[in-house]
Structure 1
Amino acid sequence: MDPAVLREDMVDGLESAAKDVLQDETVAVAMRDVPRHEFFEDDRSAYADRDHDALGTRVLAPSTVARLLQALSLEGDEAVLIVGAGVGYTAAVVAEVVGETNVHAVDISRPLVVEARQNLARAGYEGVLVDRRDGANGLPEYAPFDRILLEAAAVDPPRALLDQLTQRGRLVFPCGTQQQRLEAVNADGERTEFDAVTFDPLLVEGEQSGAVERNRMTREDREHAMRRAESRRGWEQDWIEWEESVGSR
C-alpha cells in the first residue's frame, strides 16, 4: 500500500474518538508530512501504533510521539533539543514544525546517532543536528533552547537541562520510576502533569547498549556528592574554604 495512505490512516486513527490522542492540528499536519517508513525497515509496520525495538532502544509508537509533542507546545520558531534521538523520527516531526536548523538531538548510543543521521538524511531532514552525548548534560554549545524534550524517564529533570532553557522555555519529560507521568517544567520551576506513560530510564555513560561497563550509579554518586557539599554550613563550610585558600598558595 502507498505509504502516504498508511500515514493518513495513522493520523486519522490518532484523531479518532476511539483513541482521542491527537488534538493539536500543528502536530497532526507534521505527522502527516513526515515519511515515517524511512525510519523503519518495514513500511507497513512503521505506521502501526505500537513500539518497536531498534539497536537496543525502544522506538516510540506514533500515539506516544503525539503526546510528547503536544505537551511540548510548539509554536513554530523555537530552538529545540531532543535528548534521546533514537532512530530520528521525533526529530523529523519537530523539524516539520520549527524548521530543520532549529532542531538538535543527542543520544548516548553511537550506533543510534549514526542510524538517526542516515534516516533523517534519507527522509529529507539533513539540517537536523544529531550528536553523541550523555543526555543528562544536554548540549551547552547550542544553548539556550526554547523547548527540550527528554525521551527517557527521570525522577527529576537533570539540572543541566533546566539551565539550558530560555527564560520562557519548557522541558517535557516522563517523571517517575515504576509509575510515571508526563510532565512539563517551565524555566521558573512551574510543573504541569499530563497522562501516565511508560519509558525506559535515562542512561548515563557506560549504560548504553554495547558498553563495556554498565553502571547506573555514576551520575547518582556525583549528584549526591554535590548535594552534600552544598548542604555544609557553619564551621564545616569555613573549614572547606580555609583548605581551599591554603591550597591555592
Structure 2
Amino acid sequence: MSREAERTMQLLYALRSAGVTDPRVLTAMERIDRSHFLRGIFAERAHEDVPLPIPCGQTISQPSVVGLMTQALSVSPRDKILEIGTGSGYQAAILSQLARRVYTVDRFRSLVLQAREVFEALGLHNITALTADGSHGLPEQAPFDRILVTAAAEDPPGPLLAQLRIGGIMVLPVGQSDTVQSLIRVTRTAEKGFDYDELRPVRFVPLLPGIGPE
C-alpha cells in the first residue's frame, strides 16, 4: 500500500471513529483530497484530523467535523445547497459530490478566487462561489433545500431561515463566544415552523457581517 493510500485509510478510520458512518459521505471524503485546499507546509498534514490555518485568519475545519456536519445535512442528489463561509473550499467540494448544485459565499474575495481555481482544477463544475455577506444568504437563488453555515452566530440568522425550503435542513454552529458553541440542526416544517436539534459542541470562527478586507 502506498503512503498516500495508507494516509487515506487512516483518515477514513478517524472519520468512522468520530461517528461519520454515512457511506455516501465517506465516499465523497475519500474522493476529495484535502491537500488540494491547503498551501505550503500545511498540505503535508492534510490527512490529519485537525483544523489547520488558511489565509485571512481563517481555518479549514478538521475532517471529522466536516463529515459530521455533512452527514447531519442528509443531502440528496437533487438538492440545491447554500454554504456560508467558503474558506478553503474543502467543505463545498465534499457537498458537490452529494448534491445537484452548491452555492458558496465568503466575505473574503481572495479566498473565493483561490477556491474557484481549485474547483476548476478538480472539474467541480456544479459549484458557484461568490463574494458576499453571508449573514444575508443568497436571496436571488432561494429557496434552498439545505444550508450549511461554517461560522458561528449567536442565533440562526433570520434571512437564512427564510431562505430554507419547507422540509429543508440547515446545520450551523450557534454560540455567543468562540469557547461555548453548539452544532445545531434546524428543520423547517409546514406545521410548526422550525425544529431545532442540538448535535454536539464545536468551535468555529464568528459569522461577521459585511465584506472583508482583502
TM-score normalized by the length of structure 2: 0.89
Q: Could you tell me which residue of structure 1 aligns to residue 14 of structure 2?
A: 13
Residue matched to 1:65: 66
Query: Which residue pairs with 1:242 in the alignment?
Result: none
Structure number with bigger Rg: 1
Comparing 139-148 with 70-79, which one deviates more in the overlay? 70-79
Distance (Å, rounded) in 1 between the aligned partners of 2:36 and 2:11:
15
SS in 1 for 2:79: coil
The worse-fitting range, judged by mean Cα deviation, of 151-160 and 6-15 is 6-15
- Give structure 2 stretches of 5+ with no counterpart: none
Name the counterpart of 1:27. 25
User: Contact 2:14 / 2:64 at 8 angstroms: preserved in 1?
Assistant: no
**Aligned residues between the structures:** 204
- What is the RMSD of the two structures over their aligned residues, measured on CA atoms? 1.6
2:152 aligns to what?
153
- Matched position secondary structure for 1:189: strand
Displaced runs of 4 or more, over 4 A: none
Higher strand share: 2
1:199 aligns with 2:200: no
Q: Which structure shows the bigger proportion of residues in helix conformation?
A: 1
Show the 5 A alignment for 1:216-235. Answer: none
CA-CA distance at 1:44 after TM superposition = 2.9
1:35: Cα distance to partner? 2.0
Unaligned runs of 5+ in 1: 212-249
User: What pairs with 1:87-166 in structure 2 (closer than 5 Å)?
Assistant: 87-99=88-100, 102-166=101-165
- Matched to 2:108, the amino acid is S
Aligned ranges 1:230-241 → 2 under 5 Å: none
- Say whether the 8 Å CA contact 2:170–2:187 is kept in structure 1: yes
Identity among equivalent pairs (%): 34
Aligned position for 1:230: none
Residue pair 2:148, 2:172 contacting (<8 A) in 1 also: yes
Say if 1:87 and 1:119, in contact at 8 Å, map to a contact too: no
Contact 1:6/1:44 (CA < 8 Å) preserved in 2?
no
1:159-214 Cα deviation digits (max 9, x unpaired): 111111111111111011231110011222110110110111101115x3x36xxx
Q: Secondary structure at the match of 2:53?
A: strand
CA 151–193 in structure 1, closer or farther in 2 if over 3 Å, else same: same
CA contact (8 A) 1:155 1:177 kept: yes
CA contact (8 A) 2:181 2:203 kept: yes
TM-score normalized with structure 1 length: 0.77
